[in-house]
Chains A and B, each alone.
Chain A
Amino acid sequence: MTLIPHTETDAAYVIRNAAAQGTRLSLCGGNSRVGFGNPVEGAEAMSSRGLSGIVDYEPAEMVMTARAGTPVAEIEAALAANRQMMAFEPMDHRGIMGTSGEPTIGGVFAANVSGPRRFVAGAARDSLLGIRFVNGQGQVIRAGGRVMKNVTGLDLVKLLAGSHGTLGFLTEVTFRVLPVPQSIETIVISGLDDAAAARAMASALSLPVEVSGAAHLPQTVKGRFVGGALPEGEATVLRLEGLAASVAVRAEKLAAVMKAFGPVSRLGQDKSVTLWREIRDVHPYADGTQKPLWRVSVAPSIGHQLVAALRLEAGVDAFYDWQGGLIWMRMEADPEAELLRRYIKALGGGHATLMRASEQVRAVTPAFEPQPDAVAALSARVKQKLDPAGIFSPGKMAGAL
């Protein structure tokens, strides 16, 4: 059974009672990411989907306020009607997770879900301006506001973003939106191995052409994109967006430089839209399997080295986004958590999150990168200040969180 409060006051009441009785609550939106994070024993599900609807949307101010349980689809439709969008491109996890349910805007921010534009335009947390939430004592707390620049007090907005429902129950979110670019083009460089692709992408990002997407799709996954329409060989793809005249000029410049790396072609507007949506949603690994799937964030120049090192010891399939710094990695058999995390550390740091695996694997594999002791202790103290009774999915992110 899922608790579905229909007002913020009801939510606060439920949480106050749960805190008094020590009842654990597993907070969720539309449950499209169920199965993510460490399993939590004996928690009652509580969903924000009863708190739904856009509260305020001023297209001219590029700001929207919505109740946390509002479906992402409803938000996107309202934005599209005004030719606006969420710049951080929240992905839809249903494909890779094999879930159904309706993704909610609260869930997007609770999980800090960002797509291909993240490495240049910021994550979900960077667009989030203000929130209302219920803390673990059942108090309604407001943080941030509806203006872009705000340094009034501690930034609890960023703290709650990406806390996966372990610090508070989001009831309302206010976020910044941006105009949809008039024109999109993708430059494809074909036939590069992972290391050459990393060099090409770094070179592209050092040019004044405002690349807004940089991914490398090795041979094993390439055919799964745009219905197999990408040219022969591995595909290194670079996205340009903006006014049509400007995109045309920048595409010329970028193509001229990229020619030194390999054959260059262009995808055009429509296929570009499809390609970047499929990269966002990790299309090749929306495969209906339970094979362990990792989301790894490292420095862009490290990504391909990490994959090369792992391949010597394990069966790994992978592709790269964020200039090579975001690696989607599917393990053929064992999740190889320790091996993976050891190599990440050895190569300079980052983190690996287990997005998907069988129940048996999830039960014994920490979903989030274990933190150094001092940071873990600090995080536990922070959790204690928001959720003193420890009722919000204890252990979902780590031992004490």
Chain B
Amino acid sequence: MSEAIEFLPPRPAVLSRRTAIIADLTDLLPAECVIHEARELVPFETDAFISYRRLPLAVVLPKTTAQVAAVMKYCHRYGVPVVPRGAGTSLSGGAIPQEDAIVLGLSKMSRILEVDYANRTATVQAGVTNLNISEAVGVDGFFYAPDPSSQLACTIGGNIGMNSGGAHCLKYGVTTNNLLGVKMVLVDGTVVDLGGKHLDSAGYDLLGLVCGSEGQLGIVTEATVRLIAKPEGARPVLFGFETSEEAGACVTDIIGSGVIPVAIEFMDKPAIEICEAFAHAGYPLDVGALLIVEVEGSEAEMEATLASVVEIARRHGVKTVRESQSAAEAALIWKGRKSAFGATGRIADYICMDGTVPLGKLSYVLKKTSEITDSFGLRVANVFHAGDGNMHPLILFNANDPEDAAKAEAAGNEILKLCVDAGGCLTGEHGVGIEKRDLMRHQYSDADLAQQMAVRSAFDEGWILNPSKVFPLDGRPAA
């Protein structure tokens, strides 16, 4: 197992008080809300970034905001690090604990508190899963728009932490564009409400700052999110192209033409082969790249939009066009794409990158990406949200071979630097976590980072919230 990424050294003062801390937490919370037996801590030692793991000091699973506040007040007083956790699906290590930390899990706070159709909002506890919201309001013709691939498992609290996106955010935006308010416990246990069912802030946009802050500004316990009326219908079309370059140019032209599809997904040849072998979605195997373009609306609208999209694809020499004629065909087109990560996981271990690049640079970055992985002797499959330039190269490797794992990590770093140099950023929707922490200086100047860290300190002077994440370990402000 590779261990290139460092964690902060555990605070000896905390480790030495382990027994007392556990006893105190047990006083603060019901017995079933505190976990401290080594065997029971194992499920919390990592998240979906599985190359790194650390056993926490203890895990607490509070049931109410008041209990969260009590835990924070205690940890703040004694300087105990706290790592918030939703479902533990982070791909960047955002929920990986450390030896001196309490994992604060929100899984017991999983109730939908209110659905308000007149104002098109849902107010939910932070541990509610993303999909639960859409399922709860679906029968009444509404949905919650951000749809990360892990939406079956991931929680709204985690989505807020990472400002999660998904395939459909080309049209509807990411979490921050769909979040109206939060109830949040500050580091010292104070409870604040930011936003609500109304729009915009009376003062500074602290809600906007909190979204995507990776659990470093406070613990969100409730959220009010925007609901949207479900479109009448949605229809994907599948395009096969000879080369990735043609597919990339087609994406740019679709967006530039004034048509905004609800999703544009891209798969390169390796991804097509992996997904087809697994899902039997009927993907063409004689093409170099594939696009899935989804439009939505009334029949008339879908007809008109699809016609213009198909015409653009033809101008780019599209080789295969498959329009879905039924719900079953539509589902089949999506089936391969949606199983991409699972299918890849069956043939090899992989790490999933998350850089975002300007649309005009897609083809260039794809080409360079395969050059980079080739130079490390690794395979790469690309399957990603092309409409917004959010790339997800999957670097395949063998986790049992430390040398291979180190190579994969190094190749990943090169690819992310490439994204930044092309005018993009390190992460579009997975977050920095520990994975990209040490690359932050490639994107930001020292002054940029110092300013972000200063603002972070305004919320958490002692840096006890998720302390090993996001910002490089050296050059942090003195606590």
Contact = CB atoms under 8 A, between A and B. Distances in A.
Contacts of A62: 255-256
Interface stretch (B104-112, B317-325, B445-453): B445-453
B434 to A, nearest CB: 14
B141 A206 contact: yes
Interface string A168-187: 00000000001110100000
Given A122-B177, A349-B198, 9 more contacts: A58-B360, A61-B256, A61-B359, A162-B205, A349-B196, A349-B197, A351-B202, A375-B192, A378-B206
Contacts of B230: 208
A301 B205 contact: no
Interface in B175-213: 176-177, 186, 190-194, 196-206, 208-209, 211-213
Nearest to A128: B208
B118 A301 contact: yes
Interface string A182-213: 10000000000000001000100111111000
Given A58-B358, A149-B389, A158 B232 contact: no
Given A61-B360, A125-B205, A154-B452, A325 B199 contact: yes
B203 A60 contact: no
Contacts of A386: 451, 454-455
A26 interface: no
Contacts of B255: 60-62
A137 B454 CA distance: 13
Given A58-B358, A154-B455, A155-B208, A148 B389 contact: yes
Contacts of A249: 298, 300-301
Given A61-B255, A122-B177, A326-B199, A155 B209 contact: yes
B454 A385 contact: yes
A141 B359 contact: no
B425 A152 contact: yes
Contacts of B260: 178-179
B44 interface: no
B253 interface: yes
Contact of B300 (A145, A206, A246, A368): A246
A375 B203 contact: yes
A371 interface: yes
Contact of A150 (B117, B232, B356, B459): B356
Given A58-B360, A159-B209, A208-B230, A149 B300 contact: no
B169 A382 contact: no
B443 A152 contact: yes
B66 interface: no
A118 B429 contact: no
B199 A142 contact: no
B462 interface: no
B455 A141 contact: no
A363 to B, nearest CB: 20
B359 A245 contact: no
Contacts, number: 274
Contacts of B298: 208, 246, 249-250, 253
B449 to A, nearest CB: 7
A299 B196 CA distance: 8
Interface of A: 58-63, 83, 112, 114, 118-119, 122-123, 125-126, 135, 139-143, 145-159, 161-163, 167, 178-180, 182, 198, 202, 205-210, 242-243, 245-246, 248-250, 253, 297-302, 322, 325-326, 348-351, 353, 368-369, 371-372, 374-376, 378-379, 381-386, 397-398, 401
A159 B452 CA distance: 11
Interface in B228-277: 229-232, 252-253, 255-260
Contacts of B116: 299, 301
A326 B423 CA distance: 37
A375 B206 contact: yes
B202 A145 contact: no
B120 A205 contact: yes
Contact of B205 (A63, A158, A349, A378): A158
- 3 closest A-B pairs by beta carbon, nearest first, are A158-B208, A179-B258, A60-B256
Interface residues of B, number: 94
Contacts of A371: 202-203
Contacts of A158: 176, 205, 208-209, 211
Q: Report which residue of B206, B305, B426, B451 has the largest number of chain A beta carbons within 10 angstroms of its beta carbon.
A: B451
A58 B455 CA distance: 32
B394 interface: no
B229 A205 contact: yes
B215 interface: no
B470 interface: yes
A374 to B, nearest CB: 5
Contacts of A206: 117, 120, 141-142, 229
A298 B431 contact: no
Contacts of A301: 116, 118-119
A398 B425 contact: no
Contacts of B162: 151
Contact of B198 (A122, A298, A381, A385): A298
B457 interface: yes
Given A202-B118, A375-B192, A60 B199 contact: no
23 contacts: A58-B358, A126-B177, A140-B447, A142-B448, A147-B357, A147-B389, A149-B174, A153-B440, A154-B212, A156-B209, A163-B205, A167-B204, A202-B117, A210-B297, A243-B304, A299-B196, A302-B197, A325-B119, A349-B198, A376-B203, A378-B186, A378-B458, A385-B457
B192 A378 contact: yes
A205 B233 CA distance: 17
A148 B428 CA distance: 8
Contact of A350 (B174, B196, B360): B196
A356 to B, nearest CB: 17
Q: Report which residue of A148, A246, A386, A398 has the largest number of chain B beta carbons within 10 angstroms of its beta carbon.
A: A148
Contacts of B457: 385
Contacts of B448: 141-143
Contact of A297 (B186, B190, B200, B425): B200
Contacts of A242: 297, 301
B203 A368 contact: yes
A351 B203 CA distance: 9
